[in-house]
Amino acid sequence: MIPGPVEFDPEVMRALGAKTASHVSPEFIAVFGRALQRLREVCLAPSAQPFVVAGSGTWAMEMAVANLVEPGERALVVNTGYFSDRMASLLERYGAEVVQARASPGEVPDSAEVERLLAGGRFKLMTVTHVDTSTGVLAPAEALVRAAHRHGVLSVVDGVCATAGETFHQDAWGADVYLTASQKALGVPPGLALLSVSRRAMDSWRARRTPVRSLYADFAEWLPIMEAYETGRAAYFATPPVNLVYALEVSLGQLLREGMEARFERHRRMAGAFRAAWRALGLRTLPASESVAAHTLSALYFPEGVDATWVGKVREQGVVLAGGLHPQLKTRYFRVGHMNVVSPGDVLATVGAIERALAVAGHRIAPGSAVAAAQAALLPPG
């Protein structure tokens, strides 16, 4: 129950373990083509250009930056944690002049301040971390993306810990890049960097005055590959991770059969049950309020008298949690992932393990109170 890699569906794992085909075989061409088409549907972006490349979420971030920023251009980072810091570092590496709208850990930057910066900042692009995995903070992505669009600024949304778990409508909202990785709510083992890029962003890339600094990141190398596979032809730049693409095609099919709106709602429901349990246990969340709390993970301060070694006690109860990640708070909190195939049974098992581990650590609780609260939250209304 960590915020990635998550638990994976057995059908996805069977695809991962299938006999590896040639990357130019008719079988693989068909699978890769379907995966690209399905990524458009998952991002709710029929007009966007999908990219599926071997790499991590950080590589997806770097591809966006490498292709859309030239030295000396200005970028606004809406900072909500550790991975927003990483995006700022990437932008600086590629020569951008970076301005950051910051907030205290657990909060989101003031929307009026972001609007003011966009209005007068002469920015090429704005970046937003939809869910920062370090803090569990959910940024108001729709409002921020629409604000950037009003001011003629490209929007790059890091959806690594959000895509297929948090509501996002790329085309309808006007987001220019939605990027993610395979190992979280998309439900595929680590190793794929994925981007969905708007026509406006592709036009911006085509209008560059300078070459992209990274060969492997350059859209010019990857676009012919993506276009070829989607139209049923083989093409080569670098060997794709064949079995991961098999697994991706299966997982995206499962997501679409569930339905994106139903999937978003299921993640909200599981998160609501966890939140009921946290309240019953008296645990304080790192996000300052539920309005900025993610539905794909929870970040919670340790209660008084409990320290970071307690995460090991939960493991002894059969559930694996994650420690803190944000540098300012790393030893003060823990994280619970609840995305992809998480079910009511997983919620109750996790809450029960946390209850037992808190009791072992000497934390005074009413036995079963958090499980009962989660169970009540999971029951249908009425």
| Cβ neighbours of 46 (radius 10 Å) | 10
State the first-to-last Cα distance of the chain, in angstroms, to the nearest integer.
30
Counting as low any pLDDT under 50, the low residues of the chain are none
Which of 311, 312, 315 lies closest to 299 in space, CA to CA?
Answer: 311
Tokens 């994106």 identify what position? 260
Q: Strands of 297-301's sheet, edge to edge?
A: 297-301, 333-337, 322-323
Longest dimension (CA), the chain: 65
pLDDT of residue 187: 98
The full set of domains in the chain, from first to last, is 10-258 (3.40.640.10), 260-378 (3.90.1150.10)
Predicted local confidence at residue 364, as pLDDT: 85
Output the CA–CA distances (angstroms, integers) from residue 151 to 74, 111, 112, 345, in the order listed: 14, 14, 14, 46
34 is in an annotated binding site: no
Q: Is the pTM of this model over 0.75?
A: yes
CA distance 223 to 226: 5
Please report the DSSP string for 337-373 in residue order.
E--SS--HHHHHHHHHHHHHHHHHTT----TTHHHHH
Q: What is the pLDDT of residues 92-109, one digit of tens each?
A: 999 999 999 999 999 999
Whether 63 and 218 have beta carbons less than 8 Å apart is answered as no
Q: What's the pLDDT at 380?
A: 86
Do residues 129 and 102 make contact, with C-beta atoms less than 8 angstroms apart? no
So what's the pLDDT on residue 7?
94
- What pLDDT is stored for residue 314 in this prediction? 97
